[in-house]
Amino acid sequence: MSLFLSTAFGFPTVLLTPLLTVVALYWLFVALGAADSEMLDGTDEAGEALGLSAVMGRLGLGRVPVTVALTMLIFVAWFVSMMGSILTSLIDTTSTPLLITLGVVVLLIALVVAWAVTSGLVMGVSRFLPKNRQDSKHELVGRTCVVRIGEATDSFGQAEITTAGGAAISIPVRTTGGEILPLGSTALIFDHDGEDDVFLVTHFDTALDPGQG
């Protein structure tokens, strides 16, 4: 245990240990439903990646959510740094410049290996991941939802829709032309407003649904 702690909090692994802790806490919040697994992803109105999404794309890691790619990078880099630090600790020297040099070398190797491994993993797991959020949102257009909180107006609205997998999710909705949809009413999603990230809805007569009756 003492070797593990001294390595985890020694140079260069100490630079990565806090990041790994943040990643672990982040995924705990995701599991509890308090955080979004795609919170760092960003695209413009044309669907082009922005910010960290663009950076990950240039690194060849844009096929998965930014948080997934960062998690892989940080974990692999931390693990390689740990192993490298343990190996270099076997060198019998007290020279501070040499120890710092070895630490820098280990860190660089860890980062390169992390990128290589993550690139391979991303290529492997991307085929099993759902399409990006923007595509998924547009796929909801043409489907119906149920107003669940108060009324749906042109300034506020929250509705529930059942995904293809059978899960009920809550989505922000807005009406147009001053239309007001009361609580519990069925609405038809006819568009997605990418600028405000809301779904535009209108009243839907359930009697017109061929799946009814």
213 confidence band (pLDDT: 50, 70, 90): very low
pLDDT for residue 168 = 74
pLDDT for residue 212 = 44
Task: Evaluate if residue 132 carries a pLDDT over 60.
Answer: no
Q: Measure the CA–CA gap between 20 and 27, rounded to whole angstroms.
A: 11
Q: Measure the CA–CA gap between 177 and 204, rounded to whole angstroms.
A: 15
Return mean pLDDT, the chain: 84
Least confident of 56-70, 129-143, 166-180, 197-211: 129-143
- Name the one residue in this structure whose structure tokens are 């492997």: 124
Residue 152: other Cβ atoms inside 10 A = 28
- Tokens for 159? 């509705």
Alpha-carbon Rg for the chain in angstroms: 24
Q: Measure the CA–CA gap between 188 and 202, rounded to whole angstroms.
A: 5
Omega before residue 182 within 30° of 0, cis: no
Residue-wise burial string across 38-51, b where 16 or more C-beta atoms lie within 10 A, e elsewhere: eebbebeeeeebee
Q: What is the mean pLDDT of residues 108-136?
A: 76
Nearest to 187 by CA among 198, 178, 177, 174: 174
- Percentage of the chain modeled with pLDDT above 90: 45
Return the half-sphere exposure (C-beta side, CA atoms, 13 A cut-off) of residue 19: 16
Nearest to 195 by CA among 137, 148, 139: 137
Q: At what angle do helices 66-88 and 51-58 cross, to 10 degrees?
A: 60
Least confident of 84-88, 113-117, 168-172, 184-188: 168-172
3-class DSSP assignment, residue 113: helix
- In sign, the C-alpha dihedral spanning 144, 148, 150, 154 is negative
Q: Which residue has the higher pLDDT, 165 or 98?
A: 98
Least confident of 37-51, 86-100, 177-191: 37-51
47 confidence band (pLDDT: 50, 70, 90): low
Contact of 113 with 81, CB cutoff 8 Å? no
Pairing of strands 158-162, 144-149: antiparallel
